Amino acid sequence: MQDYTDVIVIGSGMGGLSAALGLAQAGQRVIVCERNSVAGGNCSAFRIGEYTFDLAVHQLAGIDEGGNCARLLEDYKIKSKLKFFKIDPFVTLILPDREIPLPGNYEELEQIMLDQSPDHKKDIQKVFKAMIAWRHDILITARIFQGKQAVEKSDYAKITLLKKLTYPFTGLFWLLNSRRTADNFFKMLTKNKNLTTLFLACWPYLGLPPDRISGLMLMSCMSGLYGEHTYYPQGNSQKVADVFVSAIEENQGKVLLKSGVREIIIKNNQAQGVVLENGQKIFAKIVISNADATQTFTKLINPTLAPKKYIKKLSELSPSVGPFKLFLGLDFDIAQNGLDKHEYFFYESLDFTKCFEKLKKGSISCLSAYSPSHLEPNFAPKGHSTLILTAFLPWKTERDWRTAKEQIANEMLSLVEQKVKNLSDHIVVKKIFTPQDLNNFSLSHQGAMYGWANTPGQSLIYRLKQETPIKNLYLSGHWTIPGTGVTTAMLSGWILSKSLEKKLKKRS
């Protein structure tokens, strides 16, 4: 095994694989070191008997023609290797008094919002206008900072000249409002509480309720979810990671599994390589850590080797919530028994702040339920199906989820049983997965599922940058700009690989 290469990537989550593929295609010799026996991090899958489950990821954004994920996959020349199922509606809300599907299409969504709030047409249009304006300003920003290739030509052409000319002013408007929470931001668009609640009901995709989450981060998520469709990868989420691994290998890169990194070698404030768990040393010009940022700076390097200011900043950042999941194999077809759509959000109450406060105490007040086996029937034996329930729980809760697992799992089942009677009688496989299990799997700090919590002070431009104060050491993935999600983690790696490609060319 060679002990010198150009680039080492620690971790094979989608942020790591994306950076690795970009640099391998740019002619760099790349080695990815992954501690697990499968690649993909959160984008991986596993089997229990005859049932297949995604560990975490179940919807991808930006796959529509011209979407940022589609463009990234095209840039890496792997788009044709992946096939997707379109998900529409992307989620159905199960509220105490009604069910509302949320489609990935502005026109249909507008009609649904009008049905719910017929007297607020103007406010509804204001919200859509703001989402479009925000999206256009993101495209203009991406084009300014990452060049023409970062934005689809036809998308850019849709932006009016007036919008382009007023960008400096609207840009300033967003900047001035970047510290607002979603609740606070929405007050500028509508005073109608019902409308605000419905528009912001997709907050679980980012892990914080509207009174705590960054308004602009949620707007980015909404403009993606409401304006484009989401997709499920055919096969399962692991397929996405596998396609990246094959492409890295086709470009002479290596992905080493069961190869955890225990130390990053730093000399004279420069990263020079890594030491694996088995003691093997690999030296490199560049080290990219896709492992969580806290682990990188407190365990993989001696924290005294990094500037105190940076370590202090890291210690002040708060991680997102963790997942409490129930993986279920069922002896009936759940699609024929109440849940025939891809994903549902069950809410005990429309007061999202209250729901979140209850979760913080360790009790279930809302959850996501999704069943991919209606898309992929081979995930379960004939006539059977799979169902995955996910709630979030912070690392520390009043009622400790470590000791109250079964009780919490039963609360989750009870919430879903309001729609699927006797669900519990049909369970043939049941696996509980806690934030501690995610921490054991990927070493994610406090079992965080989305990187840093998406508060106004930790989102978008306020998230960590890929560059670190240590020369030749970079970060890639959801702990860095642009933030949470698979597409976003891939973008983090793509942005990094493009900027490193330029730097490495200059050096040689």
Ligand X SMILES: Cc1cc2nc3c(=O)[nH]c(=O)nc-3n(C[C@H](O)[C@H](O)[C@H](O)COP(=O)(O)OP(=O)(O)OC[C@H]3O[C@@H](n4cnc5c(N)ncnc54)[C@H](O)[C@@H]3O)c2cc1C
Among 8, 26, 56, 91, the residue binding ligand X under the rule CB under 6 A is 56
Supply angle C-alpha 241, 24, 489, rounded to 5: 45
CB 416 within 8 A of CB 346: yes
> From residue 117 to residue 156, what is the string marking binding to ligand X with x (rule CB under 6 A)?
----------------------------------------
**Nearest-angstrom CA–CA distance, 111 and 473:** 49
Residue nearest to ligand X (CB): 13
Residue found by looking up tokens 């899958």 in the block: 45
Least distance to ligand X from the beta carbon of 191, Å? 32
Minimum CB distance to ligand X smaller for 296 or for 363: 296
Contact call for residue 291 and ligand X (CB under 6 A) = yes
Based on the shown chain and the rule CB under 6 A, indicate whether residue 450 belongs to the binding site for ligand X.
yes
Which residue stretches of 147-166 are H helix? 153-157, 161-165
Rounded to 10°, the helix 121-146/167-176 angle is 110
Q: Determine the Cα–Cα distance for residues 277 and 298; give it in Å rounded to an integer.
A: 16
Beta strands 366-370 and 473-475, pairing class? unpaired
Query: Of 323, 329, 435, 456, which lies in the binding site for ligand X, with binding defined by CB under 6 A?
Result: 323
Q: Which is nearer to ligand X, 196 or 294 (CB)?
A: 294
* CA 96 to chain centroid: 28
The structure tokens 């806690």 sit at 434
Stretch that binds ligand X, among 97-105, 139-147, 350-358, 435-443 (CB under 6 A): 435-443
Q: How many CB atoms lie within 10 A of CB 273?
A: 21
Tell whether residue 57 is a contact of ligand X (CB under 6 A). Answer: yes
82 binds ligand X (CB under 6 A): no
Nearer to ligand X, 124 or 408 (CB): 408
Nearer to ligand X, 7 or 159 (CB): 7
Q: How far is the CB of 444 from ligand X (least distance, A)?
A: 5
Q: Segment 153-182, which members bind ligand X (CB under 6 A)?
A: none
Alpha-carbon torsion 426, 429, 432, 433, what sign?
negative
Q: Which is nearer to ligand X, 442 or 455 (CB)?
A: 442
Which one, 261 or 265, has the nearer CB to ligand X?
261
One symbol per residue from 11 to 30: x for binding ligand X (CB under 6 A), - otherwise; what is it?
xxxxxx--------------
Q: How far is 348 from 357, CA to CA, in rounded Å?
A: 13
User: Which residue in 449, 453, 473, 475 binds ligand X (CB under 6 A)?
Assistant: 449
- Run of H or E residues at 429: strand 427-433
Is there binding between residue 260 and ligand X (CB under 6 A)?
A: yes
Tell me, by CB under 6 A, how many residues bind ligand X. 39
Under rule CB under 6 A, residue 485 binds ligand X: yes
Nearest to 142 by CA among 156, 129, 132: 156
Interaction of residue 328 with ligand X, rule CB under 6 A? no
Name residue, tokens 């719910």: 116
Which one of residues 19, 30, 34, 456 is an interface residue with ligand X (CB under 6 A)?
34
Q: Which is nearer to ligand X, 128 or 244 (CB)?
A: 244
363 forms part of the interface with ligand X (CB under 6 A):
no
**Which residues is 367 bridged to in the sheet?**
346
Residue with Cβ nearer ligand X (60 or 189): 60
The answer to whether the beta carbons of residues 146 and 481 sit under 8 Å apart is no
Phi-psi map region of 122: left, alpha, beta (phi>0 left; psi -120 to 50 alpha): alpha
Q: How many CB atoms lie within 10 A of CB 340?
A: 12
By CB under 6 A, tell whether 392 contacts ligand X.
no
* Among positions 223, 371, 390, 468, the unique one binding ligand X when judged by CB under 6 A: 390
Q: Does 33 bind ligand X (CB under 6 A)?
A: yes
Cis previous bond, 482, omega within 30 = yes
DSSP state of 449: S
Q: Which residue has the tokens 């463009």?
A: 71
**Region from 1-9, 178-186, 439-447, 462-470 binding ligand X, contact rule CB under 6 A:** 439-447
Find all residues with CB under 8 Å of 382, minimum gap 6, and list them: none
Q: Is residue 43 a contact point for ligand X (CB under 6 A)?
A: yes
Is residue 10 involved in binding ligand X (CB under 6 A)? yes
- 204 binds ligand X per the rule CB under 6 A: no
* Cβ proximity of 220 and 481 under 8 Å: no
Q: Which of 68, 368, 446 lies closest to 203 in space, CA to CA?
A: 368
Going residue by residue from 464 to 483, which x/- string records binding to ligand X, judged by CB under 6 A? Answer: -------------xx-----
Minimum CB–partner distance for residue 495 and ligand X (Å): 13
Give me the least distance between CB of 66 and ligand X, in Å please: 18
Other beta carbons less than 10 A from residue 126's beta carbon: 14
Candidates 25, 59, 371, 468: give the one binding ligand X (CB under 6 A). 59
Give the integer Cα–Cα distance in Å for 33 and 26.
19
Residues that bind ligand X (CB under 6 A): 10-16, 33-36, 41-43, 56-60, 260-261, 290-291, 295, 323, 390, 438, 442-444, 449-450, 477-478, 484-487, 489
